[in-house]
Amino acid sequence: MDFNAGSIMINEPFQNYIERDEFDNEFSKRKSYIYVISKVFDGTRYYKVGMSTKSDIGRMGDANTYLIPGKENKAYQVHYLFFYDESPYKNSFAHYIEKEIHAVLRHEFDSYNIRFLTNNPSEWYLPQKTNSSNNRRRTRRSQSGEDWFFGYVLGLVSVNQPKPRECYQFTKADRKDITKQVQNPSKQILRQYNQHKKDFRDVLKIIKIEKKMNKKERDEKLGNQGYWQDKLIGLEFIDKDDKTKRKKTWVIDKVVYRPGKLISTYVVGYKLKGRGSLQDMIGYESQIVELFNKEQFPWFTTERLKKLGVYEKYLEIKKKQEGLT
């Protein structure tokens, strides 16, 4: 079916899901999708698999950038749409499943980078009508290159998890709901494509757990803001005045985490205990690695840092910063 964003047959499936919560309130739920389209270039039809993390038809409309001047190039055809529930993770399910599809298709079919008016390359496939070295698994010689290509896409979508919530096949004049067929593939499909099966719900869950574990490990190694506040706020230390060489007692009154493009660190605020200059009363700030540097602040000896229980974490922060500067 030629793409037409104004066609109800095409744009109707792009509506967000309307669901109800435990209090029977309606809410809108977004979806991601994978699309299969084709286009004729120089008398040859090429096929493309793409995806969008947004549930609107905009990504399909963007495909108009694929069009080049000329009567025969005025439209592309839509063949399949597969819609997925919104992912609870950063990336959509459609994103990962489309990547898996491409990993297999590139091995089985010739792919081409085609540049359009925008000069941006776009990957398209050219299924052969006869058996070729790339299409070596074809079991029926009568099967066209297009059917063989579509069979691969359907098989890969069918065996990967999660399954699409909605699936549509488009002919020249009609839209067919094939959701049951994709969600419940035949034994033949399972035998042929199960080698490519992945459950991306588990994959994304592992990624999310690993990120939390890494943050926990970083906190254990470097300490977090709460840790350094508990250890340092209220601590008094002695330092000499640069001019008078008199000893002054300082009190740490704050510790804050300061993120940066290259270096993220903890900054310690301290002010004079008792009376002094206006600046001494307002206070100063130093990074932890500066404050604990014995050459700058001799009071912070290794023994004192160990007694405070911060020496190991100070060394880890210092090592990390030295590796970035």
Same domain, 197 and 273: no
Q: Is the pLDDT of residue 262 over 60?
A: no
Same domain, 197 and 229: no
Asked if residue 107 belongs to a domain, the reply is: yes
Rounded CA gap, 35 and 218, in Å? Answer: 41
Residues sharing a CB contact under 8 Å with residue 51, sequence separation 6 or more, in sequence order: 32, 33, 34, 35, 59, 92, 94, 95, 97, 98
Q: Which residues pair with 81 in a beta bridge?
A: 35, 168
Residue pLDDT, tens place only, 106-137:
888 877 776 665 556 678 888 875 444 444 44
Nearest alpha carbon to residue 35 among 122, 94, 114: 94
Asked if residue 280 belongs to a domain, the reply is: yes
Give the pLDDT of residue 55: 65
What is the distance of C-alpha 306 from the center of its chain?
41
Q: Is the pLDDT of residue 288 over 80?
A: yes
Nearest alpha carbon to residue 97 among 34, 168, 186, 184: 34
The answer to whether 122 and 66 have CB atoms below 8 angstroms apart is yes
Nearest alpha carbon to residue 174 among 2, 4, 9: 9
Same domain, 131 and 250: no
Q: Which residues pair with 111 in a beta bridge?
A: 125
Reported in sequence order, the residue ranges of the chain that DSSP labels E, i.e. its strands, are 17-20, 26-29, 31-41, 44-52, 77-85, 110-115, 121-126, 166-170, 175-177, 236-240, 247-258, 265-272, 284-287
Average pLDDT, the chain: 80
Question: Which residues span the domain enclosing 141?
Answer: 8-209
Same domain, 30 and 76: yes
The answer to whether 96 and 200 have CB atoms below 8 angstroms apart is yes
Asked if residue 53 belongs to a domain, the reply is: yes
* Region 219-247 average pLDDT: 88
Nearest alpha carbon to residue 94 among 17, 182, 157, 16: 157
Same domain, 99 and 239: no
Rounded CA gap, 308 and 314, in Å? Answer: 11
Same domain, 132 and 246: no
Same domain, 136 and 13: yes
Residues sharing a CB contact under 8 Å with residue 81, sequence separation 6 or more, in sequence order: 13, 33, 34, 35, 36, 166, 167, 168, 170
Give the pLDDT of residue 126: 84
Give the pLDDT of residue 9: 82
Other beta carbons within 10 Å of 251: 16
Task: Tell me the percentage of the chain whose pLDDT exceeds 70.
Answer: 79
Give the pLDDT of residue 72: 47
Give the pLDDT of residue 29: 76
Q: Which residues pair with 284 in a beta bridge?
A: 270
Q: Is the pLDDT of residue 154 over 90?
A: yes
Q: Which residues pair with 285 in a beta bridge?
A: 269
Q: Is the pLDDT of residue 173 over 80?
A: yes
Give the pLDDT of residue 131: 43
Give the pLDDT of residue 250: 94
Asked if residue 205 belongs to a domain, the reply is: yes
Same domain, 139 and 234: no
Same domain, 39 and 141: yes
Rounded CA gap, 53 and 202, in Å? Answer: 19
Q: Quickly tell me which residue has 């297999």 as its tokens.
A: 104
